[in-house]
């Protein structure tokens, strides 16, 4: 299924009120460890500047503030106002509001100058962009030389028995449970469809190289249900 910006924007806005609950419920809480692993791969820079793209309810931005306590500033950007409201509420409760700023913006046209961030993350948002390569190129543009980009995305397990079990859950149970709790069945039908039609592993890693990044790697998480991709911008970290 080809995502369109306005449709995806409306969809995420409609499920913002149940987004956190469903993330943790449908992943059995494993999503927290995935985010921790993504943040652990970012360079630890004193008074560093970090960006979380498609920040949603700010889970990754908050994880950066916990894992990298010396980070100077963290910016989260998203194009859904209801998601940003949820994120701002969580940031306020965390007491990290002086360090985390959430902004409305488009991942394909990041409102930042070139080479300003020490590390960038995007968790489960790349496949929702109308032009994923353009999204990676934009993140590479605003990354400092030597800075690192970490992307979390869903995938399908390569082992046949696990793949069969996963697809039954992913295509049958998840849409039903997600639809019942969120009140938007279409949103949780879109999730598996978008994952199954999105490039994985070597193909997605190729976008990093096409965007000019180096030291590109990918790491299967939880049997390949999710994959952590990472790459660095050529140059030395300042």
Would residue 47 be called left, alpha or beta, if left means φ above 0 and alpha means ψ between -120 and 50 degrees?
left
The answer to the question of whether 106 is labelled as a binding residue is yes
What kind and span of H or E run contains 117?
strand 117-123
Per the CB < 8 A criterion, the answer to whether 225 and 154 are in contact is yes
Residue in 227, 182, 228, 197 with CA at minimum distance from that of residue 23: 182
The answer to the question of whether 31 is labelled as a binding residue is no
The answer to the question of whether 113 is labelled as a binding residue is no
Pairing label, strands 117-123, 49-53: parallel
Per the CB < 8 A criterion, the answer to whether 214 and 202 are in contact is no
Calpha distance 58→101 (Å, rounded)? 10
Pairing label, strands 73-78, 100-104: parallel
| Residue 183 neighbours by CB distance under 10 Å | 12
Burial category of 92 from C-beta neighbours within 10 Å (exposed 0-12, middle 13-18, buried 19 and up): exposed
Positions at the binding site for S-adenosyl-L-methionine = 78, 106-107
Positions at the binding site = 78, 106-107
């Amino acid at each position: 299924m080809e995502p369109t910006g306005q449709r995806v924007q409306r969809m995420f806005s409609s499920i913002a009120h149940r987004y956190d609950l469903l993330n943790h419920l449908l992943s059995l809480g494993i999503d927290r460890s995935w985010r921790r692993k993504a943040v652990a791969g970012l360079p630890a820079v004193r008074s560093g500047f970090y960006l979380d793209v498609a920040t949603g309810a700010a889970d990754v931005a908050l994880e950066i503030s916990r894992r990298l306590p010396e980070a100077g500033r963290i910016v989260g950007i998203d194009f859904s106002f209801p998601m940003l409201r949820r994120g701002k509420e969580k940031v306020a409760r965390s007491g990290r509001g002086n360090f985390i700023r959430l902004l409305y913006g488009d991942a394909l046209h990041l409102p930042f100058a070139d080479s300003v961030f020490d590390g960038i993350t995007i968790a489960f948002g790349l496949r929702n962009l109308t032009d994923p390569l353009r999204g990676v190129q934009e993140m590479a543009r605003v990354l400092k030389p030597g800075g690192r980009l970490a992307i979390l995305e869903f995938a399908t397990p390569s082992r046949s028995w696990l793949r069969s079990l996963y697809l039954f859950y992913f295509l049958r149970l998840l849409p039903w449970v997600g639809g019942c709790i969120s009140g938007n069945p279409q949103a949780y039908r879109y999730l598996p469809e978008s994952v199954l039609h999105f490039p994985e592993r070597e193909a997605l890693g190729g976008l990093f190289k096409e965007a000019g990044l180096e030291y590109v790697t990918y790491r299967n998480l939880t049997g390949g249900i999710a994959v952590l991709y990472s790459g660095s911008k050529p140059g030395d970290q300042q």
